[in-house]
Structure 1
C-alpha cells in the first residue's frame, strides 16, 4: 500500500504487516529480507516507511504494569500517548516529556527521542526511559537499559527504529496535582529577543515561542513566548474555583473534511493571520488545559489537509548557542522573502541529547512548515548550508529530503551507530526510506 508520514510527502509503496504478538513478530522478522517498524505514522517524512516491508506495531497496545510509588509504567511499544494520558492523568500522573501531538506511540517516541517544551529542564523522552525490550532481525529479544546493553540502549534512543524493533518499554511518569497549566505569554519584538527571553526563562518548567516568519526589518521573526507550569490544586481552587481537577478533553477535535485548495495558505493570508495574532496578544498570566498548552494542533483533526494534496515539509534544525545569534537572522531573512512561507514556526531552547543519533544539542531549535512546491527545495538546500556552517543539524523525525552529506555533517556519533547496527545484524535488514536516502 502507499504510505507517507504526517506531511504526506514523500509517498512510497510498501508491504504492510501487522503482527499481534512477540512470537508472530519474531517469525516475521526472521523471514522478511528488509523492514522497519512503524507506529502511528506521525513522523513527518519517510522514517516510518519500510524499504521493503513495514511492520505496523499498533496491535502492541497493552499497558502491562504500573508502580504508583515510583511512577514507573511498563507498556508495549504500540500504546498511544493519548491513551496513556487518558488512563493516568485522572490518577495524578503525566508523561515527563511530550511532543506536539498526543497521537504518537511510545515506541515511536523512543525511536525519535522526542523532545518537548521542557527539554532545557528535563531532557528528552529517552531520558525518562528506564528500560526497553528490543528484538533483533534474528528474532532474539534483549533487555536494554543504562546498565544492561547500555551502548545499544543509547543507539536505540533516537535511532529511528534502525537498531531493532522496540517491543516494550518501562518509562517514568511524573506526579501532577491537576490537569491545568499556568501559561504566561510574553511578546518578543524579533527573533533574537525571543531567544533572549527563552534563555532568561530557563527556570520555567516549559517554554516555547510562536514565530512570525513574514515580519521584516527590526521586527524580523517577532514572536510570542509561552511559559508554562503545572498548576497545583490550591492554585486551581483559588483562581478557578469549581473547575474540574482533570478536565476531560478526549476526542480528536473538529476534522478537516477534505484537502484545502493550494491557494488557501499564501503570503497574503499568512501575513494577515500573523499580524492579527501578534497584535491581539498581550502579556498575560492565565490557566489553560493540558491539551491547549501541549497539543493545540490536536484540536483540529487531520490538520495536515490544510496544505493541500501535495502535502508539506516540516523543517526543524538546531543550532548551538555560539552560532544561533548569527545564523538565525540569516535563516529568517531567507524565509521572509520566499514565495511559500512557513505557516507554523516554533522556537525552543534545547539541552544535551540522550542517544547517539538524538537530535537535541545545547542550543536553539526552530521548526517550520512549508507547503510542497516546485521552489521550496532550493530554499531548503540553502537553509541546509547555513545550518551546517553554523554547526547544527536537522531532526530525522521531521526530515523528508536532506542529503547524506548534510546528515553526516550534523551527527558526529554516526560511525559508532553504524558499528552497533553491524554488530546486531541490522545492516541491510533494518531499512526505512529515510535510512536509504541518507545512507545510514
Structure 2
C-alpha cells in the first residue's frame, strides 16, 4: 500500500500493511542513494529504522510504529545487464513491474514472480517471494547471485549464496540489513505469452488427486506454473471445488500463423481493470454475493481447455487485475492466512479446507499451490509440500480463535504460516514453525547489537 502523504504529529504519517488491519504512525524518509540510507541509520531513532518497498507485505513486517521507515523506491535503477550471461544488477527499490517492462522486450523474464508485479527487488529478497512455479524454480533467493547489504554498523557487505548472511537475509524481512543492490539470474523466453490449460475440478478429493501428479506437457515437460483457485463457500459434495490452471511459456513456434503476437512476440501486455471506489461496502462482499460470484466463476471456467495463449500478467499477477483490490473488504481491511504443510500431511490440508468451508466465511477464492524443495533462507516460507492461502474480512466473529486453531493444525503437521503475510500468529508458535529461528536471532544480535533495525513484527515476535 502506498504511504499516505497526510502529515500527523509534525513528521509522522500513517502507514499500514496491504491488509490494512494494523495502521501505525512512522517517520517516512525517502533516500536517493546509499549514502542517504547510511545517514538515516546513523540518526539513532529510539524506535529504530526499517526499509520498505511498495508496501505489499500484508501484515506488520514493513511497519515500524513511532520509528523511521525508509521508503527505498528512490533507489530504482538498473545498473547493469548482461544478455550473454542472463544477469541483471539492479537497485533494491526497483519494482518487478519495471524490471519486466525493461527485460521482456530483450527476451528475458523474472525466474520467480509472486501474484503481484508491484513488489520491489529488495522486498522480494526480504520476503523470499515464491510463485506458482515453485516446484521447478524454487523461491526468489535461488536465482539471486549476490546482494549488496548495508548492515547496521554502516558497512556495505556483499552477501553471497551459501553464506550465513545470505541465508539470514533472504526471507529475513529486512532485519539483517538494508538491501542496496540485487544481482539476479534471469529466465530466457521467446514470447510474453503463456500456453494455458484450464479445467474445472468438482471437489477436494479430485483436486488433490489431480495435483498429486503433474501431467507432462506437449514437449514432455511438466507445466511451469500450476495453481488451483478453490471456492471457499462450496459445501457438501462440492467442498473444495476449484478451477485448476496449468501454464507454460509459449515458444514462438507455438503462435498461430495469423496471431497478432507474431509481429511483437515479446511485447509486455499487462492486464488491469479500472480502479474500484475507495472501498466496497461490506454488504457487497457478503456471503450471498460471494457465493453467487463463486458459482458463476466456477461455471464460467471451461470444463477442460488446453493451449490457450494468454499474456503473462493475466495468469501470474491476479492481484494486479484490480488496482487497490485490498479495499474490497471495506475500511476494516482483511486478515490473510497463508499456511504450508509438508507432503504426507494431505489429510491435515483437507481438514483445514473443510473447516474453512464449514464456517462459510465471506471470502474470495482460496489459492492452493505445491512447493518443491525449500530454499536456503532461514525464515523463508516454502517447504516441500502444499501451500494454502485465503483472505478473510477482519472483524468476523470468532475469527482470531478460529485462526489460532488452524495454527495448531499446521503446527501438528510440521508446517508453518507465512511471516510476510502475518500480523497475528502467537510468538510461541514461530520457533516450532521455523527451526532456524535461533540461528537467525544469534546472527542478528551479532550484526545489530544496538537493535538499529526494528519492525512491528520483530517486536511482536521477539526477533
- Give the TM-score band, short-chain normalised: over 0.9
Q: CA deviation at 1:242?
A: 5.5
Residue of structure 1 equivalent to 2:40 = 28
Q: Which residues of 2 match residues 381-392 of structure 1 at below 5 A?
A: 381-392=404-415
Q: Is the 8 A contact 1:335 1:342 kept in 2?
A: no
Residue of structure 2 equivalent to 1:330 = 351
Residue of structure 1 equivalent to 2:171 = 158
Q: Which residues of 2 match residues 206-285 of structure 1 at below 5 A?
A: 206-238=225-257, 240=259, 243=262, 244-250=264-270, 253-282=273-302, 283-285=304-306
Q: CA deviation at 1:122?
A: 1.1
**Residue 66 (str. 1) matches residue 89 (str. 2):** no
Which of 15, 25, 35 is residue 13 of structure 1 equivalent to?
A: 25
Q: CA deviation at 1:252?
A: 5.1
Q: CA deviation at 1:126?
A: 0.6
Q: Is the 8 A contact 2:232 2:360 kept in 1?
A: no
- Say which SS state the counterpart of residue 186 (structure 2) adopts: strand
**Bigger mean CA deviation after superposition, 82-91 or 42-51:** 42-51
Q: Which residues of 2 match residues 33-44 of structure 1 at below 5 A?
A: 33=45, 34-44=48-58
Q: CA deviation at 1:381?
A: 1.4
Residue of structure 1 equivalent to 2:445 = 422
Q: Aligned partners of 1:322, 1:242: CA distance in 2, in Å?
A: 43
Q: Is the 8 A contact 1:255 1:300 kept in 2?
A: yes
- Say which SS state the counterpart of residue 353 (structure 2) adopts: helix
Q: Aligned partners of 1:83, 1:164: CA distance in 2, in Å?
A: 24
TM-score (normalizing by structure 2): 0.91
Q: Which residues of 2 match residues 241-390 of structure 1 at below 5 A?
A: 243=262, 244-250=264-270, 253-282=273-302, 283-285=304-306, 286-323=308-345, 325-338=346-359, 340-354=361-375, 355-375=377-397, 376-390=399-413
Structure 1 residue ranges (4+ consecutive) displaced by more than 4 angstroms after TM superposition: none
**Residue 113 (str. 1) matches residue 125 (str. 2):** no
Q: CA deviation at 1:250?
A: 4.9
- Say which SS state the counterpart of residue 380 (structure 2) adopts: coil
Which of 65, 70, 73 is residue 55 of structure 1 equivalent to?
A: 70
Q: CA deviation at 1:239?
A: 7.5
What are the Cα deviations for residues 376-401 of structure 1, in whole angstroms up to 9, with x where unaligned?
A: 22221121111111111001111121
Structure 1 residue ranges without an equivalent (≥5):
none
Q: Aligned partners of 2:312, 2:410: CA distance in 1, in Å?
A: 33
Residue of structure 2 equivalent to 1:167 = 180
- Say which SS state the counterpart of residue 195 (structure 1) adopts: helix
Q: Is the 8 A contact 1:94 1:176 kept in 2?
A: yes
What are the Cα deviations for residues 124-173 of structure 1, in whole angstroms up to 9, with x where unaligned?
A: 011000000111112111001126xx110010011110111001110011
Residue of structure 1 equivalent to 2:196 = 183
Q: Is the 8 A contact 2:95 2:118 kept in 1?
A: yes
1:27–1:205 CA distance, 2 compared to 1 (3 A): same
Q: Aligned partners of 1:421, 1:335: CA distance in 2, in Å?
A: 37
**Bigger mean CA deviation after superposition, 104-113 or 299-308:** 299-308
Q: Aligned partners of 1:426, 1:238: CA distance in 2, in Å?
A: 63
Q: CA deviation at 1:308?
A: 0.4
Residue of structure 1 equivalent to 2:419 = 396
Q: CA deviation at 1:251?
A: 7.8
What are the Cα deviations for residues 193-224 of structure 1, in whole angstroms up to 9, with x where unaligned?
A: 32332231172211111011111223211111
**Residue 91 (str. 1) matches residue 110 (str. 2):** no
What is the number of equivalent residue pairs in this alignment? Answer: 437
What are the Cα deviations for residues 32-84 of structure 1, in whole angstroms up to 9, with x where unaligned?
A: 34111100001111111124211111101111001001111000000011011
Q: Aligned partners of 1:257, 1:299: CA distance in 2, in Å?
A: 15
- Say which SS state the counterpart of residue 346 (structure 1) adopts: strand
TM-score (normalizing by structure 1): 0.96
Q: CA deviation at 1:314?
A: 1.1
Q: Aligned partners of 2:209, 2:42: CA distance in 1, in Å?
A: 52
